[in-house]
Structure 1
Amino acid sequence: MAQFAFDAHAAAGYVERPPRQVPGLEGLHKMAALLLGEYVPADGRVLVLGAGGGLELKALAEAQAGWHFHGVDPSADMLALARQVVGPLARRIDLQQGYIADAPEGPFDGAVCLLTFHFIGRAQRLETLRHLRSRLRPGAPLILAHISFSQEEPERSRWIARHAGFAEGRTASGAALDRALGTMGTQLTILPPEEEEAMLAEAGFEGISLFYAGLSFRGWVAYAG
């Protein structure tokens, strides 16, 4: 599957960027651990797609001392960063360079994919979700969170302006908005929430619920049917 992979330049400042760009990132990690913990046993195995950078791996491993993780990411530079970030927690974490189709078949007790799906093209979204579903035991939770908002104007431009301005504390306008519109239009694939939920259902997930919303970001929990 042709998907975006971060290079060394992008990886270099990654640890600092998400907390500035994602509203309530620490809370998102805590909620992910909570929702997984409802179904994942104390010695469970969790699949993490888009694991490069290691921020969610570190948070989840600290939250649950008995869980083991398999992280997959297409970027060798981001995986190297993840190894630094998780530190001694690495003894419970296996990291693999590749895409979801390269991941072990499982079955896993849960899966997480945070801040990744907006880098996956529309044509690959459903296939990616089906790969995730096939690697989960029945009833296992998937935690999914990324950029998602209406693609109808003027809502689309308004949400991009808010997204671009969050780190600066004010809504983007003028040249800053033009740059954001160009960047997000060429580098990201953003779908409306209703399409995201329809794809989850088509891929075989049930009990789909929105649990997180922070400006341009949305998060869902769904269960393998």
Structure 2
Amino acid sequence: MTDTPAPIDFLAAFSDPAAVARYAEGPRRFVPGFADLHRMTAILLAERAPADAHILVLGAGGGLELKALADTHPGWTFVGVDPAEQMLVAARDLMGDAARRVEWVKGYIEDAPLGPFDGATCLLTLHFLGAEERRRTVAELHRRLKPRAPFVAAHSSFPQTQPARAQWLDRYAAFAIASGVAPDQALGARNAVAANLDLFDPEKDAAILEQAGFRDVAMFYAAFTWRGWVGYA
């Protein structure tokens, strides 16, 4: 397959009510072990976060990770940050009564309170940012955390040299098709990722976390085109 350019305004896409209504099903079909990723994230945070922890969730739209964390840790409170208003509405709806434990912030990392927080997450989000914006965002996350607080990140990250890049993108589409996504939709998503996202190999992604000041950065999750890391402020 070839990478077919198909420019997409991702913020506009996440502001479309129809797309937002379908969002909850997408990650489960495109991200292997999606529910387990949330469970592992909660475990990694809880290793150092107290029972009454205050957690920063960047890219909180949709509310899937917020709900998973809130359900497993009833004493935690959260700040949920996302630039897409419709995605925040969906998150509040999904959270139900637990939405009262969340301070909702429409915007980006610079719009988040300074904390300091007991932990932070950024799941399925950083791959939308270019290199410099990604470095800046991770550094801003770092300065909002208490010393030694955990940060969990997971996003698209896989070898970027050809032919490995194309092969992993094909596998991304194949997994979605095997999970019930229509082939034309899965292939369209594959080509959109190839054309629109500034993706890095896992070594560069880990280095960005380290350059932002995170220590003991370790990969804990690897599933086709997805990787996850934990690091400490």
Q: Is the 8 A contact 1:116 1:146 kept in 2?
A: yes
- The match for 1:33 is 42
Q: Distance in 1 between matches of 2:108 and 2:188?
A: 30
What are the ranges of 5 or more consecutive residues in structure 1 without an aligned counterpart? Answer: none
Distance (whole Å) between structure 1 residues aligned to residue 131 and residue 71 of structure 2? 33
Matched, 1:59 2:68: yes
Larger RCO: Structure 1 or Structure 2 (Cα < 8 Å, ≥ 6 residues apart)?
A: 2
Amino acid at match of 1:221: V
Give the alignment's TM-score, normalised by structure 1: 0.92
* Aligned match of 1:82: 91
Task: Find the partner of 1:198 among 198, 204, 207.
Answer: 207
- Residues 168/181 of structure 1: CA separation in 2 closer, same or farther (3 Å cut): closer
Unaligned runs of 5+ in 2: 1-8
Partner of 1:7: 15
Number of residue pairs the alignment of both structures matches: 219
Check whether the contact 2:176–2:186 (CA below 8 A) recurs between aligned residues: no
CA shift for structure 1 position 12: 2.0
What is the alpha-carbon root mean square deviation over aligned residues?
1.8
Q: After superposition, what is the alpha-carbon deviation per residue over 1:161-198, rounded to whole angstroms, capped at 9, x for unaligned?
A: 0111112129xxx9888745531133322110000111
d(CA) in 2 for partners of 1:35 and 1:182? 33
C-alpha distance in 2, partners of 1:54/1:179? Answer: 25
Distance 1:181 1:80, change over 3 A: closer
Residue in 2 that maps onto 1:92: 101
Structure 1 segments (4+ residues) deviating >6 Å: 174-178
Q: Does 1:21 align with 2:27?
A: no
- Counterparts of 1:98 and 1:187 in 2: how far apart (Å)? 21
Instruction: Give the % identical residues.
Output: 49
User: By how many angstroms is 1:70 displaced?
Assistant: 0.3
Matches within 5 A, 1:144-159: 144-159=153-168
Partners of 1:217 and 1:185 lie apart in 2 by 14
Tell me the equivalent position of 1:108. Answer: 117
- Structure 1 residue aligned with 2:151: 142
TM-score by length of 2: 0.89
For residues 86 and 57 of structure 1, the distance between their equivalents in structure 2, rounded to whole angstroms, comes to 8
Q: Give the distance between the partners of 1:38 and 1:183, measured in 2 at CA.
A: 37
